[in-house]
Amino acid sequence: MEPGLCCRAYLLAGRLWTAVSKALFAEFLATGLYVFFGVGSVLPWPVALPSVLQIAITFNLATATAVQISWKTSGAHANPAVTLAYLVGSHISLPRAMAYIAAQLAGATVGAALLYGVTPGGVRETLGVNVVHNSTSTGQAVAVELILTLQLVLCVFASTDSRQTLGSPAAMIGTSVALGHLIGIYFTGCSMNPARSFGPAVIVGKFAVHWIFWVGPLTGAVLASLIYNFILFPDTKTVAQRLAILVGTTKVEKVVHVEPQTKEPHMNSEDTEVSV
């Protein structure tokens, strides 16, 4: 191999590693912060038990902060359900999606561990582990989580689609998370995010009905992706192009054909997508 070609290959590999590693760290950091502050708001301090409104506002602010920190680096998923939705909509490759989810789960676990470490033993209890409340059946719990996550993912797509808006999506996504908590707390403690449920469950070792907080949110995310990307705002990717994106053999922006009146690619969050 010629020296010049070797040098170019080395530089390309370096750029690829830099982009991917930054995105993974952003997902790790954003999810960890989200779990630390969000779950921290549900802890039962004797002097001031948390209200539903307080919890909803805290998750709102935690979400907005996490999104603002990471959306230009990784797309600010911070949620395996959002990552799955982007995968289904052909906005991210399968290898990158798997790496994102691993980073999110690791971040959630570290965030929960830090919260556990700084919280007095009498206040920790179950560390905000999601459970089914108020005689809600498992089927009802799954349905509630599905609906809550569906509205969240629809809001994420609408807020990050450059055909609709060019500003930061932090405020609107945070509002959507708060909306979910205002009703979801009474049913399941409100997850909408498998990583949020996973981190505390790992730290305290409580996995009763944990499957609900994967099945419900992931199903809702898939439905939301299908609704947004194939009904409300379909794009013109071909099957071959979607398969190329899926396996990571092409950049997303290379295969998106925008409408004549637009100048931006389909999704801001994939501006950093590279072949993996």
Query: Among the listed ranges 158-167, 180-189, 196-205, which one has the minimum average pLDDT value?
Result: 158-167
Domains of the chain with CATH codes: 16-247 (1.20.1080.10)
Look up tokens 């921290």; give the residue.
40
- For residue range 126-167, what is the model confidence (pLDDT) as tens digits? 999 999 988 999 999 999 999 999 999 999 999 998 887 777
What percentage of the chain exceeds 70 in pLDDT?
A: 84
- For residue range 8-53, what is the model confidence (pLDDT) as tens digits? 655 555 565 566 889 999 999 999 999 999 999 999 998 889 999 9
- What pLDDT is attached to residue 215? 98
- What pLDDT is attached to residue 47? 87
**88 within 8 A of 226, measured Cβ to Cβ:** yes
CA 97 vs. chain centroid, Å, equals 11
Query: Among the listed ranges 25-29, 111-115, 212-216, 265-269, which one has the minimum average pLDDT value?
Result: 265-269
Q: Give the residue from 148, 127, 26, 19 showing the smallest Cα distance to 78.
A: 26
Query: Among the listed ranges 34-43, 192-201, 208-217, 245-254, which one has the minimum average pLDDT value?
Result: 245-254
Q: What is the 3-state secondary structure (H, E, C) of the chain?
A: CCHHHHHHHHHHHHHHHHHHHHHHHHHHHHHHHHHHHHHHCCCCCCCCCCCHHHHHHHHHHHHHHHHHHHCCCCCCCCCHHHHHHHHHCCCCCHHHHHHHHHHHHHHHHHHHHHHHHHCCHHHHCCCCCCCCCCCCCHHHHHHHHHHHHHHHHHHHHHHHECCCCCCCCHHHHHHHHHHHHHHHHHHHCCCCCHHHHHHHHHHHCCCCCCCHHHHHHHHHHHHHHHHHHHHHCCCCCCHHHHHHHHHCCCCHHHHCCCCCCCCCCCEHHHCCCCCC
- For residue range 55-98, what is the model confidence (pLDDT) as tens digits? 999 999 999 999 999 998 999 999 999 999 999 999 999 999 99
State phi, psi for 121 to the nearest 5 degrees. Answer: -55, -35
CA angle 260, 266, 268 (to 5 degrees): 130
Which residues neighbour 240 within 8 Å (Cβ) at sequence distance 6 or greater?
none
- Quote the CA–CA distance of 43 and 141 in Å, as a whole number: 22
Whether the pLDDT of residue 253 is over 90: the answer is: no
161 DSSP β-pair partners: 267
- For residue range 97-112, what is the model confidence (pLDDT) as tens digits? 999 999 999 999 999 9
Per the structure block, which two tokens stand in for 6?
């070797």
Whether the pLDDT of residue 5 is over 90: the answer is: no
Q: Give the residue from 216, 147, 210, 228 showing the smallest Cα distance to 180.
A: 147
- What pLDDT is attached to residue 249? 81
